[in-house]
A and B are shown apart, each in its own frame.
Chain A
Amino acid sequence: MAAPPSAYRDRQFLAVIGDEDSVTGLLLAGVGHVTDPPDSQRNFLVCDSKTERSAIESAFNRFTKERKDIGIVLINQHIAETIRDTVDKFQDAFPAVLEIPSKDHPYDPEKDSVLRRVRRLFGE
């Protein structure tokens, strides 16, 4: 299971896809990073009810597949639900994806991909 060090050595950033409060909180913790211009890239996406599904999906793909400097992707569980297929299809060890609760949507074990794996393991 363990991936070679080359798979994670340069993955030093956390990325966040979440509602404004989740992103604000995590940026207050100092995870935010904007790369230097001219090609400035943020490592976070603030979503609200108007954010297009395609925008969320492309941010997720950018953080998980294109960028090689991200080690952890945090995504609000309710936002992950909107792109469930894409999130579940991503099975690589790096970056690690973790679904986090948001202010209005507490953590729901039913939707947790880890616990779904557990249920599969026990043949449920």
Chain B
Amino acid sequence: MADTLPSPPESRSPSPELEHNENEDNLTRKLDTLLEKYLELLDQYTALREELSKTFSAGFFSLAQAQRASTLGAGRRYGEECYDERMKAQRRVGVSEDETDEHHVFKVDKVVRVEKEKNSISVEFSTSADESKPQEQAGRQSLQATVEVQGEQQEKKLRPKQDPAHRDPVTWFGILVPPALRQTQSHFVKATEKSIPELLSIDSAMKSVEAEIWAVRDELGMLADYDENAETAKHAPKQTEHDKQLAKEQIYTVSRRKLASRPAHSKSHLVQLSE
């Protein structure tokens, strides 16, 4: 059958209906693959959510134990009144782009050396970079170089010996650290370094697949079924019509660009799920 179908993409084929069907089949298969992938991500998301809840519960439990055995004195708690107001972040966020897929990967890592003063400068820099167009590579690089030099100079001048930035937060509450408070810390470190960035990375991947799914459904002309549902869904966030339109347009334009690059190969047993 395929032999009888010379199919240059733009020209009219002798049997447009056949070609149309084939195209639709391809899209349906693509939709299946995407849905399958999406369900796998959803599964990971649910597992990570459970893990995060457990870690937080364990953390809260240890903190409550620490409060009960508190050595701080009457009426004082391990809480806001003891925070060191000079604190500097010792765990920071790193974002990268996934190599195979177009989503963001989050990481939270401990910084070994905190560079004083550099942060406030780089904040200023990031604001100006946001306003400028991303194409202005050269200008931006030179700006970044200047910023780093300034940061290093100030760091040398201003870094005191007992830098509060290097002080372990667990010591904010006194020299004698109860073991329960250390346990609290280790639970929250686990949540911060593992569960939280992993959840956000999965969420980012899910968003990316969602955009593709909506785009394929759009091409298949299935949107009307979902749009009405989506707009009237009781769980839908209370957005204005304008916001919804904007969000949708964003999703469709981004994902159309990606569509061509993905191969479609899968069984079609997942279509029912979308009904």
Contact = CB atoms under 8 A, between A and B. Distances in A.
A55 interface: no
A123 B272 CA distance: 12
A12 interface: yes
Interface string B229-258: 110010111110001000100010011000
Nearest to B42: A118
A96 B213 contact: no
Interface string B100-137: 00111010101000001101101101110110001000
Contact of A113 (B91, B237, B274): B237
B69 to A, nearest CB: 16
A67 B123 contact: yes
Nearest to A36: B120
Nearest to B228: A123
Contacts of A26: 188, 191-192
Interface residues of A, number: 68
Given A14-B89, A28-B185, A29-B185, A114 B235 contact: no
A101 B208 CA distance: 25
A107 B53 contact: yes
Nearest to A27: B169
A69 B123 contact: yes
Nearest to B101: A2
Nearest to A113: B237
Contact of B93 (A13, A84, A118, A123): A13
26 contacts: A1-B103, A9-B95, A11-B93, A11-B126, A12-B92, A12-B94, A14-B108, A25-B185, A26-B188, A28-B184, A28-B185, A29-B192, A30-B110, A33-B87, A34-B88, A35-B123, A71-B95, A71-B106, A72-B196, A96-B204, A98-B199, A106-B57, A107-B53, A118-B42, A121-B213, A122-B273
